[in-house]
């Protein structure tokens, strides 16, 4: 079994990274990306399919043979990036049972602030478009591919750092959104979600600024 490193330099890794960012692709798309023949792309895709990293579907456009469209498998999503495991899921389940959803929401909010504090000093831009781009770079350093569209009022994340856990506990999605809000100092609306079947999570700026305060000593 090949150990894939998403975003690496190997052609198969570039294919995985492209699919993570774009959601799906044809052989022609990937041939253009890699600058190789369609035959070479099919060889890489065959290897990825054998490792259960990509799935394929046929798509019809008028008469003629349908074209094949490739996307990441569930297995690939779960590996990109790996930051969660059964322990976290079990802890959340136990906390929900013992403390209830309101207390868990408060705890996750505290986690959001702690995570934001680790990075907030590195987001110093005055203009929101600059801060969004700085956030994008920080997320990619965490292993989360991201992009800020040219209009500069949203950020798109092409991987879920908590994929396995979020599938069971949507509270984790709120934690990630809150962390990003604290880092940016702006309110966000989650428009698209990997958890709900989109190939990315799309956070759009909400009009209005939220004042963020440093984590108090009472939180630890």
- Residue 208 pLDDT: 58
pLDDT above 70 covers a percentage of the chain that reads 82
Contact 164, 217 (CB under 8 A): no
Question: Using CA atoms, how far apart are residues 57 and 68, in angstroms rounded to an integer?
Answer: 6
Q: Write down the architecture of domain 86-219 according to CATH.
A: 2-Layer Sandwich (3.30)
Kindly state the average pLDDT of the residues 141-156: 86
pLDDT band at 84 (very low <50, low <70, confident <90, very high): very low
CATH code given to domain 11-78? 1.10.10.10
Q: Which of 44-53, 58-67, 141-150, 158-167 is predicted least confidently? A: 158-167
Which of 6-20, 59-73, 136-150, 202-216 is predicted with the least confidence, judged by mean pLDDT? Answer: 202-216
pLDDT of residue 85: 52
CA of residue 159 relative to chain centroid, distance: 2
- Work out the burial of residue 69: count CB atoms within 10 Å of its CB; fewer than 13 is exposed, 13-18 middle, 19 or more buried: middle
Q: State residue 1's pLDDT score.
A: 47
Residue 91: pLDDT above 90?
no
State the pLDDT confidence band at 5, using cuts at 50, 70 and 90. low
> What average pLDDT does range 34-62 have in this prediction?
91
Any idea where the domains of the chain sit in the sequence? 11-78, 86-219
């Amino acid at each position: 079994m090949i150990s894939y490193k998403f975003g690496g330099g190997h052609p198969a890794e570039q294919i995985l990274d492209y699919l993570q960012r774009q959601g799906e692709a044809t052989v022609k798309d990937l041939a253009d990306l890699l600058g190789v023949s369609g035959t070479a792309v099919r060889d890489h895709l065959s290897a990825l399919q054998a490792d259960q990293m990509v799935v394929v579907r046929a798509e019809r456009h008028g008469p003629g043979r349908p074209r094949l469209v490739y996307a990441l498998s569930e297995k690939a999503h779960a590996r990109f990036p790996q930051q969660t495991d059964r322990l976290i899921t079990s802890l959340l389940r136990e906390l929900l049972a013992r403390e209830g959803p309101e207390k868990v929401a408060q705890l996750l909010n505290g986690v959001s602030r702690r995570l934001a504090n680790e990075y907030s000093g590195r987001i110093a831009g005055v203009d929101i478009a600059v801060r969004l781009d700085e956030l994008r770079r920080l997320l990619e350093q965490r292993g989360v591919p991201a992009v800020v569209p040219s209009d500069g009022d949203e950020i798109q994340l092409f991987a879920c750092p908590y994929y396995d856990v979020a599938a069971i506990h949507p509270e984790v999605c709120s934690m990630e959104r809150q962390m990003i809000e604290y880092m940016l100092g702006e309110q966000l609306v989650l428009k698209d979600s990997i958890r709900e079947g989109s190939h990315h999570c799309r956070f759009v700026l909400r009009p209005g600024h939220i004042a963020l305060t440093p984590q108090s000593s009472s939180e630890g």
